[in-house]
Structure 1
Amino acid sequence: MAGDSQVHMDHDMEIGVTPTAVKKLPKHMREAQISTERTHLIADPIKKPRQRYVQKDGKCNVHHGNVQETYRYLSDLFTTLVDLRWRFSLFIFTLVYVVNWLFFGLLWYIIALIRGDLWHSDEEGWTPCVENLNSFVSAFLFSIETETTIGYGYRVITEKCPEGIILLLIQAILGSIVNAMMVGCMFVKISQPKNRAETLMFSHKAVISVRDNKLCLMFRVGDLRNSHIVEASIRAKLIRSQQTKEGEFIPLNQTDINIGFDTGDDRLFLVSPLIISHEINEKSPFWELSQAQMDKEEFEIVVILEGMVEATGMTCQARSSYLDKEVLWGWRFTPVLSLEKGFYEVDYNSFHDIYETNTPSCSAKELAATLREGQLLPTLSSLTPEPPKPYTLEPLSTHNPLTKEVDKGEEGERGEINGSAAALEDQPGLD
């Protein structure tokens, strides 16, 4: 008994048990519940939202920390500048030009200082290196005029200054390189195809329902622009934690979700919104998951749409993701396409709309087994030998104990064999 202080085992051994006071656990520990299907404790009965790996707008929620070899970024300086945020790009753009002008302005000022042009410029017969250059400010302005080819005509280099001619050549060449690099960075940054991805839409939710007697995972994609995405293709990844048989824990394991790459259905003609379907079959990671099990799973589905921008020919990629709570079981997408006079009308107000439909809550594996059994039963019935036709007898009462029912096969019809011992004895050929 629970109140006894001794426990008897096989009536031969007595084990002394000293009752101890049970300590009251903290509130957050008392609310913990042990899951019947998992071995760990769940502190909150409500499943906490999973941290996204990819945001809805396509940004990857990953931060690279403790990078030691930062010099690798300088080996690809152009890409580094293009990848910077706009405020940093504009700051570097301005800083590079200002520093370049200041540097060459300082060199022009040093030349004028060494030649003595700052003190003898007003003397008759004195030929300075640069006319009307009498201070650092004027040297800085001359540097800007030289590199930007403004040419006001007030400050001009003379032919009796070989060091100035050499410096002019160097500044012209380096200025062209700086212009090419900085303008090129700005042009590439402005024309980046990721801006084209802003007009590619993904439905807010993914749904699971039956298509052609098979459970399918579906989501919708669309393009708002009239210019099309050429060679558009789509793929999907399932991201969830996994533990191998050897005990290795993989926190963000990636698994391919087949959305038609073996049949070519992943190649899209994205003129109007399309519903992308993943058939949950034996190769699907959702094959053995029912609706109840799906609600307990923690996963994220990342979808990637790629193609070339028709206007520029550059490759564009749009991304989105669906958490486990954003995959709804037993729903379908509302149609958005209607036929008008001479054209098809797309209603983007209903792009994200869904409606509920009758869907079995069992797993795709169980549904397939049920459908197979339903198809095999008629086949087996048709192979059963047909019973011999009874002799023509007079109908007897329905209370006759000799009345029997015979299954005639696929049609499920029932026949009755009516007879009696006396009637059978009267038939010829029967003993």
Structure 2
Amino acid sequence: MATRTAEVQRRIVSKDGHNKVRVDNVEGMVKLYLHDIWTTVVDMKWRYKLTLFASTFVMTWFIFGVIFYFIGMGNGDFDPDLSANRTACVVNVKTLTGAFLFSLESQTTIGYGLRYISEECPLAIFTLVAQLVITGLAEIFVTGAFLAKLARPKKRAETIKFSKSAVICRRAGKLCLMVRVANMRKSLLIQCQLTGKFLQSNVTEEGEKTQIHQSSVDFFMDSSGECPFLILPLTFYHVLDEHSPLTGLNAENLQTRDFELLVTLNATMESTAATCQSRTSYVPQEILWGYEFKPMLFSTTGGRYVADFNFFNKVKVTNDAVVLSNNTEKLKLEEDYKKE
């Protein structure tokens, strides 16, 4: 395999599909995040989400405990000369700690029975009702965010694997760029569609230079336009013809070109019918000219097929002498002759 120069290239999308674009100097960023609080909470990292979950309970226990403490203080429940015929708002609550424990017992419905609200104090009754309603809504929100994060199709997309390198060789007489994709679970992915975006700097006809210009890259599976189901590792290909944004690419300029090929797989999960999306990207150093993927699907004596992932990223030099010699002009003449 040809030795590749280990150059550091800027990426928009990492190999595992994460966005690597940093957003700076956005006015009112906090306000924007709070305006869509549901998405903000769902997108939180787990350590922040667990902190939010714990603090939601602790803070509501403490806040309403303080309210009950001030209600008792205003009612004179803590006076040492409290008359025997006078009923306290919250019975057996004499300190802030006792008020906190009463708030905890009420919200979690533990009900030890030692501390309770008397019917002589309407304000305490109203506060208790407000606590149960407000904290119930807060618990629903936080629990729903937990379930939404666990059930996100993003986790299913992490079990979709792309080949580390893309290869360029001839397929069915045409020069093609190929990418291998595999489903790591036994559950099927149906209605699979692989699309690509070719990202590079560009100068418009008006002389304006754009840092990133996007061009669509179509990927196919064999000769059919139907969406395959991903049960076996599949190889998708893109034809490098005059309609391709990668036209003019050859073994020499591949080493010096500055671009990024973003590849996205959209699929439907058979078990839940939810859609998932997985993506990766390839820079020129990860595209191999004149190579093809080694076979990784084998049959056993028991009549079963085995997908050996030891060969998933393995490539070999193509036997096509025209591609190896990088004779693109001869390739074009051959294709034109077949069209005639």
TM-score scaled to structure 1, two decimals? 0.72
The match for 1:243 among 188, 203, 212 is: 203
Partners of 2:154 and 2:254 in 1: how far apart?
A: 33
The DSSP-based 3-state class of the residue aligned with 2:252 is: helix
1:68 is matched with which residue: 21, 27, 30? 27
- What is the CA RMSD across the aligned residues, in angstroms? 2.2
Matched with 1:233 is 193
2:157 aligned partner: 197
Instruction: Confirm whether residue 279 of structure 1 aligns to residue 248 of structure 2.
Output: no
Question: Partner residue of 1:425?
Answer: none
1:53 aligns to what SS in structure 2? coil
- What is the rounded CA distance, in whole Å, between the counterparts of 1:332 and 1:88 in structure 2? 45
- Structure 1, gaps ≥5 residues long: 1-45, 377-431
1:226 shift after superposition? 0.7
How far did residue 124 of structure 1 move?
A: 2.7
Of 116-125 and 129-138, more deviation after overlay is shown by 116-125
Deviations 1:349-392 (A, max 9, x none): 1111111113424465651224545897xxxxxxxxxxxxxxxx
Match of 2:319 in 1: 358
**Residue matched to 1:382:** none
CA 1:310–1:214: 2 relative to 1, 3 Å: same
1:190-238 Cα distance to aligned partner (Å, 9 max, x none): 2222121221100011000011111010010001101122322221111
Match of 1:368 in 2: 332
Hey, what does 2:97 align to over in structure 1?
137
Report the counterpart of residue 206 of structure 1 in structure 2.
Answer: 166
Instruction: Give the aligned residue type for 1:220.
Output: R
In structure 1, the residue corresponding to 2:193 is in which secondary structure? Answer: strand
Contact 2:200–2:258 (CA<8 Å) still a contact in 1? yes
Which structure 2 residues correspond to residues 132-171 of structure 1 after superposition, within 5 A? 132-171=92-131
Residue 338 of structure 1 pairs with residue 298 of structure 2: yes
* Deviation, structure 1 residue 99: 1.7
Matched residues in 2 for 1:258 and 1:216: separation?
11
Distance in 2 of aligned mates of 1:176 and 1:80:
20
Residues 89 and 124, structure 2, Cα contact 8 Å, conserved in 1: yes
Residue 347 of structure 1 is matched in structure 2 by 308
Q: Partners in 1 of 2:51 and 2:289 — Cα distance?
A: 50
Which of structures 1 and 2 has the bigger CA Rg? 1
Task: State the SS of the aligned residue for 1:271.
Answer: coil
The 5-angstrom pairing of residues 174-189 of structure 1 reads: 174-189=134-149
What SS is found at the alignment partner of 1:218? Answer: strand
How far apart in 1 are the matches of 2:75 and 2:271?
Answer: 57
**8 Å contact 1:336–1:350 — kept in the other structure?**
yes
Deviations 1:246-288 (A, max 9, x none): 2111111111111139x86472310010001111122112222
1:20-99 to 2 correspondences below 5 Å:
48-70=7-29, 71-99=31-59
Cα gap change, 1:367 to 1:109, in 2 (>3 Å): same
Equivalent position of 2:77 in the other structure: 117
- 2:271 alignment counterpart: 311
Residue of structure 2 aligned with 1:103, choices 48, 63, 66: 63
Matches of 1:116 and 1:284 in 2, distance apart?
Answer: 83
Are 2:76 and 2:82, in contact at CA under 8 Å, matched by a contact in 1? no
Alpha-carbon distance in 2 for matches of 1:235, 1:374: 27
Query: CA shift at 1:302, angstroms?
Result: 0.8
CA contact (8 A) 1:288 1:363 kept: no
- Of 214, 217, 221, which aligns to 2:177? 217
Listed as ranges, the gaps of 5+ residues in structure 2 are none
Q: What is the aligned partner in structure 2 of residue 17 from structure 1?
A: none
Q: 1:160 to 1:54 in 2, by over 3 A?
A: same
* Aligned partner of residue 200 in structure 2, secondary structure: strand
- Whole-Å separation in 1 of the counterparts to 2:147 and 2:205: 51
- Cα distance, 1:367–1:324 mapped onto 2, change above 3 Å: same
